[in-house]
Copies of this chain bind each other. A is one copy, B any other.
Amino acid sequence: MEGYELIMKGKRTGVWLIGALGSISTTVITGAVSLRRKLIPPGGMVTSTEAFEGLGLVDTGDLVFGGCDVREGSLVEAARHVLRETSADPRILGEIEEDLREVEQNIRTGTTRNCGEAIERLACFPAAHRHVREEIEGIRECLRHFKSSHSLSELVVVNLASTEPPLALMDCHSDIDSFEAALDRSDVDAVRASTIYAYAAIQEGCPYINFTPSSGALLPAVIQLAERKGVPVMGNDGKTGETLVKSALAPMFVSRNLEVLSWQGFNILGNMDGRVLDHPDNQESKIKTKDRVLSKILGYTPHSRVRIDFVPSLDDQKTAWDFIHFRGFLGAKMSLQFIWQGYDSILAAPLVLDLVRLAEFAKSRGESGLMPHLASYFKAPVGVEEYSLHEQFRMLMKYVKRVKEE
Chain A interface (Cβ within 8 Å of chain B)? 27, 30-31, 34, 40-41, 43-46, 48-49, 82-90, 244-245, 248-249, 251-252, 255-259, 261-262, 264, 266, 268, 303, 305, 307, 309, 311-314, 319, 321, 323, 325, 327-343, 346-347, 349-350, 376, 388-391, 393
Contact = CB atoms under 8 A, between A and B. Distances in A.
Nearest to A239: B256
A287 B262 CA distance: 23
A342 B252 CA distance: 14
A121 B343 CA distance: 38
Given A330-B34, A331-B88, A346-B334, A268 B264 contact: yes
A311 B325 contact: yes
B268 A256 contact: no
Contact of A311 (B90, B303, B342): B303
Contacts of A390: 251, 255, 388, 390-391
B339 A336 contact: yes
A337 B338 contact: yes
Contact of A343 (B252, B256, B319, B334): B334
Contact of A303 (B258, B312, B330, B334): B312
A333 B314 CA distance: 9
Contacts of A332: 86-88, 343, 346
Contacts of A49: 257
Contact of A255 (B46, B305, B333): B46
Contact of A347 (B30, B83, B313, B329): B329
A67 to B, nearest CB: 19
Chain A contact residues: helix, strand, loop or mixed: mixed
13 contacts: A40-B331, A86-B87, A87-B332, A90-B90, A251-B393, A255-B390, A264-B309, A266-B321, A311-B325, A329-B347, A336-B338, A338-B339, A388-B390
A332 B88 CA distance: 7
A323 B341 CA distance: 11
Contacts of A83: 330
A43 B259 contact: yes
For this chain, the copies found in one complex come to: 4
Given A87-B87, A303-B311, A314-B262, A319 B323 contact: yes
Contacts of A303: 311-313
A31 B342 CA distance: 28
A313 B261 contact: yes
Contact of A341 (B264, B334, B347): B334
A259 to B, nearest CB: 6
Ordered nearest first, which 10 A-B pairs have the shortest CB separation? Answer: A90-B90, A44-B329, A261-B313, A86-B332, A248-B252, A390-B390, A255-B393, A334-B342, A338-B338, A329-B350
Contacts of A255: 46, 376, 389-390, 393
Given A86-B87, A264-B266, 12 more contacts: A43-B259, A44-B257, A45-B257, A46-B255, A46-B257, A48-B257, A82-B330, A255-B393, A311-B325, A334-B342, A337-B341, A338-B338
B313 A305 contact: no
A343 B261 CA distance: 16
Nearest to A352: B329
Nearest to A304: B311
Contacts of A327: 43, 313
Given A43-B257, A257-B45, A330 B248 contact: no
Contacts of A248: 248-249, 251-252
Interface centre among A31, A89, A251, A313 (most CB of B within 10 A): A313
A332 B252 CA distance: 28
A83 B87 CA distance: 9
